[in-house]
Amino acid sequence: MDDQKGFRNQIKREESKMKEIFAERLRTSMTNMNIKQCELVKLTNIPKATISNYLNAKYMPKVEHLLKICEVLGVDFRWLFGK
């Protein structure tokens, strides 16, 4: 049981780290393209609250959102995840 709890905690830490990397790279890409959050919302048609959650490392994007973001910002999805 303790092994399972430890494994869950490790997964949560890794997931949290991925969210942080994604949020940081998303902010970097937006800065490089001189795109503000409100502009990204308009260009991707992703709700403002959702973009905010991505930027604050609360959620990882759905595939369709990820593809829109990559297209608008001109970045590879692998780079957004730290690869």
Query: Which residue type sits at 44?
Result: T
Q: How many domains does the chain have?
A: 1
Residue 21, Cα to own-chain centre: how many angstroms? 7
CATH code of 67's domain = 1.10.260.40
User: Does 74 have pLDDT greater than 80?
Assistant: yes
* Structural domain boundaries, residue 33: 2-80
pTM: 0.88
Residue 28, Cα to own-chain centre: how many angstroms? 11
Q: Measured between alpha carbons, how far is 58 from 43 in angstroms, rounded to an integer?
A: 21
- For residues 54 and 20, the answer to whether their CB atoms sit within 8 Å is no
Among 48, 27, 50, 26, which Cα is nearest to 39's? 48
Q: Measured between alpha carbons, how far is 1 from 68 in angstroms, rounded to an integer?
A: 41
User: Tell me: the pLDDT tens digits for 11-49?
Assistant: 889 889 999 999 999 999 999 999 999 999 999 999 999
